[in-house]
Each structure stands twice: as C-alpha cells, then as structure tokens.
Structure 1
Amino acid sequence: MNKISRNLLVAAGLALTPLAQAITAEQTDIAVLIPGKHDDGGFMQAAYRGYEKIRDQLDVNASFVSNISATSDPVLLTEAMRELATKGPDMIIAHGGQCNGPAETVSQEFPNIKFVVIQGHVQGPNLSSYVVRQEDSAWLAGALAGLTTETNIVGHISGAWPKPGLIGRAAFYDGLMHVNPDAKFLTWFTGDLDNTQINADTAGAEIKHGADVIYTMLNGGRQGVIDEVKKHNSEVRHIGNVSDWTQVDPTFVGSAVADASVAILNAAQDFTNGQWKPDQITEIGLGQGDVVKLTLADDVSPEVQAKLDELAQQLISGEITMKTTYEGKEFHPATGDFVEQSFKETLKNKS
C-alpha cells in the first residue's frame, strides 16, 4: 500500500489495522556523506561513528557514502551530494566545512530534502549547520604546546583548507601566543589529509627546523607524522585532534578532542523529534558536556595541568576571547622559507 492509498483510506474514514499501519508506516531515511575515508582514525571516522549512532539509536533507515575526495575537491563533493539527493532521503548530513559550498548548491536543487553540514557555516530554507567548536580545544592545545616546548619552536600540520581548519589553526596559534609570545610557529597545509608520505615529510622538515611539539589536524595522513616523530627518541611530542590520541600512542602529549559524531547524532535526533530547524547554526563548545576538551598524557606536570584548567575556565567564562584568524606567514617544508598564505592557492590548483 503506497502513501496515496493510505491517505485515501484515512480520508474515507476507514481505520487501518495494526498490520496495515506497520506496513504503511514510512521510516525516515537519513544519509551521511563522508568526504574522506571513514576508517581514517580521525575526523572522517568521527563521521562514521555518528552514522553508527544514528543507525543504532534511532528508528530510521541510516546509510553513508565515503571516500569521495582526499583533497576535498568541491566539484567531486557536489556531484556526490547531488547523486545522493537523487535517491530521495529525508535528510542528508554532510561532514566537514568542505561541504559548505556543495550543500548550498544542492540544497537549492532539492528543496524537499533537509540538509545539514557538520562543522559548517551555511544556512538556508532547508539547510542548517551543526558545529562542534574544535577551536576551543585547539586553543588549549596551543597553550599546551607553548607550556611544554623546550626549543620554543612549535609546528602545525593540516591537509585541506576548509574554514573550520583555518579557524582551528588560528585558535591554536592564539593559545600558543597567549602563554608563550616568543615561540616560533611553523605552520603548513599539505593539501592532502590522508597521504602519509607528504605529511611525514612536512613533519620531518618542521623537526629539522627545531619544532619539538607538532599539532596535527589530519586524517589518515597523521600516521606519517606519528612515524616521523618516533624517529626522534622522545625529543619531539605530538598533539592530536578530534579524538583522544594520548590513548593511542605515547608520542602524544595531548589531544584537542572535538567529537563531531555527537553533532551528527544531534542533527538526526532533532529531525526525528520534529525539533530540527532550517536557516540556523547550532554549536557545542567547551564546558558543554564531554564533547570538546583537551586530554593530556600522564607525564604532563601538575603545574601545566593546573594552568590549562585555569585557562579552560577563562575561555568558558569569556575572560579570554580567542582570535579565529591567522594573519602570519606559513612555513614551506620543501624550502624552509616562510611564504605568504596566498601560496596555498598554487597548491590548490595542482590538487
């Protein structure tokens, strides 16, 4: 019995038996779009955990697509989202700020589908964004780096350039400067979140130029940095992001946790409960449960831990206002030179 037949029976005043109601009840379809590898151990795997939570906790038909573009190519992401929309789900949840533009485009083409971008900053008549404020824990990660570096040189490595990644880098730098304004900052976007070799090479270059703490905002490519850091006999420490990397490898001195899987589940729950609203941005930040936090390795001193706890409270209270733009230069690992940020445009064109 299809939806039209059911509606005709109801309009005619004919009651449906429990069996008929079960047959005709339409289950909500929610699809999760994951741009990268869903088992990358990083940000994309957080999306897969969100899909699993939807699948296991909600009475919906849940599905996902993944591994679309390692370089977050907007054309490929738009095509994948459009293809997903043609299948007619009730909601599409797209993971990552790289989906901002594609969602703006495709949501207009499919006005009857609800769209959500996780870590997005877009809104529309059938479009909203859910954001886990990774910049909060990234700021604390910068403070951790500034308090623990011995060379006074701190590195940062990321892959793609979506807005959340740029904001996270800026927050990390701001936290670093807050506690250690004399520290030297080596930052680079490799253009690929998953390529282990180019991210390992970048880590090697930053270490060669003195960095003894490196913050990575990567997916599968993080393993390359881990392998490189291990070559240096505990003289270099690593700070992870998204999940708690201190539980994975002893090279990590801390991790800027920002569990985006919670935002995915929240969006789906809001939709199934009738509470989802278009044209808005919903945020989860530091101090709102256990979603956003900085975790520390066991060997971090009590003094540093106490200072970071104090800084976290100042962030929550608003006593500290973080900067979310970085206006400095970037460290080019191939040459060791510092270049203007516009240099990234040449890398984007090659990717």
Structure 2
Amino acid sequence: MKKWKKVIGVLVLMFMMALVAACGGNPSGQGQKEGQKDGGQAQQSQKVRIAMVVASTVDDMAWSQSMYEGLKAVQKKMGEDKVEIAVSERLGDAVNAGAAIRQYASQGYDIVIAHGAQYQSVLREIAADFPKTTFAYGTGFQTAPNIFAYDPQAQEGAYLLGMLAGYMTKTGIIGVVGPVEAGDAIKYNYGFEQGVKAVNPKAQVRIAYTGSFGDIVGAGELAKVHMDAGADILTGSSQQSVGAIKAVAERGKYWLSTDMDQSSLAPDTVLAAQAYNWEKVVTKMIELRKQGVLGGEHLTLSFSDGTLELKFNSKLADKIPQEAKNAVEKVKQQIASGELKIELPKEQGQKQQQK
C-alpha cells in the first residue's frame, strides 16, 4: 500500500510539473498581459502583422500612398520577417470597409489601420469584439482602449506653405481646391490662409470644395476656375489633388502640396510640400503595443517631433526668394518649439482638447 502511495505521489508531482510548464512557468495558470515587458524576447521575436484599409489606392500620390510608404519603411527597417503588411483598397463604402476590417481582426492581425476619418464609427463597433487587436484611424481624436486616433496638425505645414504663397504670388490671388469641408481639410485651409495673410495681408485666398475626396476631374475643373479668376498659386488636399496639379501644370502656374511630396507628378509646378512621416507614427504604435498599450492614445503629427516635414522641390529652389525661405524657416522653428501655435477654427480647436 505504501508503495502505491509513493507511486501516486510521484505521478501527481510529474503532473504538476507538466502543468506549470504548459502555463509558461506561471503556477497560477494566468497568462501575462499581451505586450508586457516581461514577455521578454518571445514577444519581440514574433512577427507584427499590420493590415490597412483605404478609400483610394496605395499609389494615389496623396493620403493613402503616404501611409503605405510609411508602412513599407517600417517593414524595411524592421525586416520582412518581423513585419507583415496587407492592404485593402477602394473601400470608401463603410459597409465594405467594415467587412474587411472585421476579417483582418478575425485572421489575427495585430494592428488594423483604417486610414480615414470616415471609418471612425464602424471601427468603434468592431473594436469592441476584438479586445486584443489594436485598431487605428485618422484624422481623428476619439480613442478607445484598443483604438489609436492619429491626427496630423495639418495647419502647421499649411501655415508655412501659405507664407510661401503670400511671398510669391504676383496677382495677389491664391486658389484652394478643397475636397470636403470637414476634418483635416478645414485645418489645412485655415492654417494656409493665416500663413498667406501673415506676410501678404492684401492677398485674396479663395477656397472652394468639390464635395469629394476622389473627384480628380472635378478638382482639375475647379483649379481651372481659380486660374481663370486670376490665381497664380494653388493648393489643396486629398487624393483628388492630382487632377488639380495636372491642370495647374498645363497653365504654367505653381502648386503647393500636402500629405506627401508630389513634385514627381509635376517637377516644374510643385514648389514645396508638407509631408507626413507615418513611419514614426506606426513605429510608435508597435512599441506601445509591445508595452501592453493597445490603444487609448491620441497621436498627433507635428513639427515638434519630426512627424511633419517641409520639403522644397530642389528643381524650383531658385524660384523661391531667399527672404521667403528665411522667413519660413524661422517660423518653422517657432512652431516646432511651441513658441508659435497656429490657431484653428473654434470647433476644431475644441476637438483638439478632447484627447
């Protein structure tokens, strides 16, 4: 009998040891929180799977392409064995976008980026069903425990581009080809107009909207209307801007870009650009996730942390007066240091405070 008790005791001990090993050395059987630093090298060695949903395409030379290039930069830096990327394009419809977002989450992607403010509502619905998945969208400010909202301070670079336009216009008329009068477009246009007025109070800034983010033909026609009315320098945002740039190039006028450097589209037309550095933003999301932070933060892009950049077209650098370059650089430093804050419309400013 004593022999059997001894055998049973050994078997019980072996079972307990196996149970502890199966639980990763944690006798309580409770797994560590996802991304905790104690997760050690095992967590860091895993491949980060990132999916992105966009309303246009990854070669739109604007909003979508800028983020895609940021993702590819992260993958190149970390290695393809560490970062996997998947993209779904042309999903402007919320229902179809929602289906793609849910599918990526179901397939175990770590981070799902819905690259557009229009995805905010559908993302909040889906995120609740996948608490271990990190979701992100922008331009936005509303977050959730597993949702990051990213928010380019478009008014900062817009102000500097407005200064350039104010210095360089000969007719005193500057045209803005806007997409939809909301979100990032309002911030950009508001900052741009302030920059123009700061150096050229008499200049007229004429803003008009196509009512769409992707109306390339409409943007081109609107640019022509501006030029027919005397505008010699134009700007605008969203993927539709490629149509406006084409029209401006045909007339021999100048364009100022945002989202990304668009000078390759028209080397003799695009003077300068405000570019978003998405590589830094995505890298921050990855790092926060490793620390167990799956969302809940409002991530801004600004000159202060290098996530906003001002790029001049080297081919047209000699067309910009040195006085303008010096003034823009001085103000850029003031914005980066916090000495100068570019104002937003009242409604937008209130949203900025809700983080």
2:124 to 88, 96, 104: 104
Question: What residue in structure 1 maps to residue 187 of structure 2?
Answer: 167
- Give the match for residue 3 of structure 1: none
Say if 2:99 is the partner of 1:63: no
Q: 1:28 to 1:67 in 2, by over 3 A?
A: closer
Dislocated runs of 4+, deviation >4 Å: 6-9
TM-score by length of 1: 0.77
Q: Distance in 1 between matches of 2:307 and 2:322?
A: 21
What CA distance in whole angstroms lies between the structure 1 residues aligned with 2:280 and 2:147?
Answer: 18
The residue number in structure 2 matching 1:280 is: 297
1:64 and 1:84 map into 2 onto residues whose CA distance is: 9
Structure 1: gaps spanning 5 or more residues: 1-5, 14-20, 328-351
Quick check: 2:46–2:82 contact (8 Å CA) kept in 1? no
TM-score, structure 2 as length reference? 0.76
Task: Classify 1:319/1:180 alpha carbon distance in 2 versus 1 (closer, same or farther; 3 Å).
Answer: farther
- Contact preservation (8 Å) 2:116, 2:137: yes
Match of 2:272 among 244, 250, 254: 254
Q: Deviations over 1:51-108 (max 9, x none)?
A: 3234333354523223234xx4444433432333332322212223333233222212
**CA, structure 1 residues 102+144, in 2 after alignment: closer, same or farther (shift >3 Å)?**
farther
| Counterpart residue number, 1:197 | 217
> What CA distance in whole angstroms lies between the structure 1 residues aligned with 2:341 and 2:83?
42
- Measure how far apart 1:141 and its partner are: 1.0
Show CA shifts across 1:109-148 (max 9, x none). 3223211224321211111223343321111111111121
Q: Which residue pairs with 1:266 in the alignment?
A: 284
Which residue type is aligned with residue 226 of structure 1? I
Contact 1:156 1:214 in 2 (8 A): yes
Distance 1:259 1:161 in 2: 24
Q: What pairs up with 1:1-351 in 2 under 5 angstroms? A: 9-11=21-23, 27-58=47-78, 59-69=81-91, 72-219=92-239, 221-232=240-251, 234=252, 236-246=253-263, 248=265, 249-271=267-289, 273-274=290-291, 276-289=293-306, 291-295=308-312, 297-298=316-317, 299-325=319-345
Instruction: Give the corresponding residue for 1:333.
Output: none
Paired amino acid for 1:32:
M
Question: In 2, are the aligned partners of 1:215 and 1:239 still within 8 Å (CA)?
Answer: yes
Aligned counterpart, 1:339: none
Maintained 8 Å contact 2:260/2:276: yes
For the Cα contact (< 8 Å) 1:262–1:291, is it kept in 2?
no
Letter paired with 1:171: G
What letter corresponds to residue 65 of structure 1 in structure 2?
A: V
Deviations 1:132-167 (A, max 9, x none): 433211111111111211111111113245522221
Distance verdict in 2 for CA 1:76–1:211, change over 3 Å: farther
Question: Could you give the per-residue CA deviations for residues 309-329 of structure 1, whole angstroms, max 9, x where no partner exists?
Answer: 1221232343433222289xx
In the aligned structure 1, how far is the partner of 2:73 from the partner of 2:232? 37
Q: Pick the structure with more helix per residue.
A: 2
Q: Which has the larger radius of gyration?
A: 2
Distance 2:62 2:102 in 1: 25
Gaps of 5+ in 2: 1-17, 26-40, 348-355
Q: Structure 2 vs 1, CA of residues 12 and 36 (structure 1 numbering), >3 Å: closer, same or farther?
A: closer
User: Does the CA contact (< 8 Å) of 2:276 and 2:301 recur in 1?
Assistant: no
Equivalent position SS for 1:77: helix
Cα gap change, 1:162/1:29 in structure 2, threshold over 3 Å: closer, same or farther?
farther
Distance 1:73 1:174 in 2: 34
Higher mean displacement: 289-298 or 175-184: 289-298
Contact 1:137–1:294 under 8 Å retained in 2: no
Which whole-Å CA distance do the structure 2 matches of 1:61 and 1:308 have between them?
Answer: 38
Task: Tell me the matched-pair count.
Answer: 307
Contact 1:53–1:265, Cα closer than 8 Å, also in 2: no
Query: Aligned-pair distance for 1:208?
Result: 1.0
Deviation at 1:238, TM superposition (A): 0.6
Give the aligned CA root-mean-square deviation in angstroms: 2.9
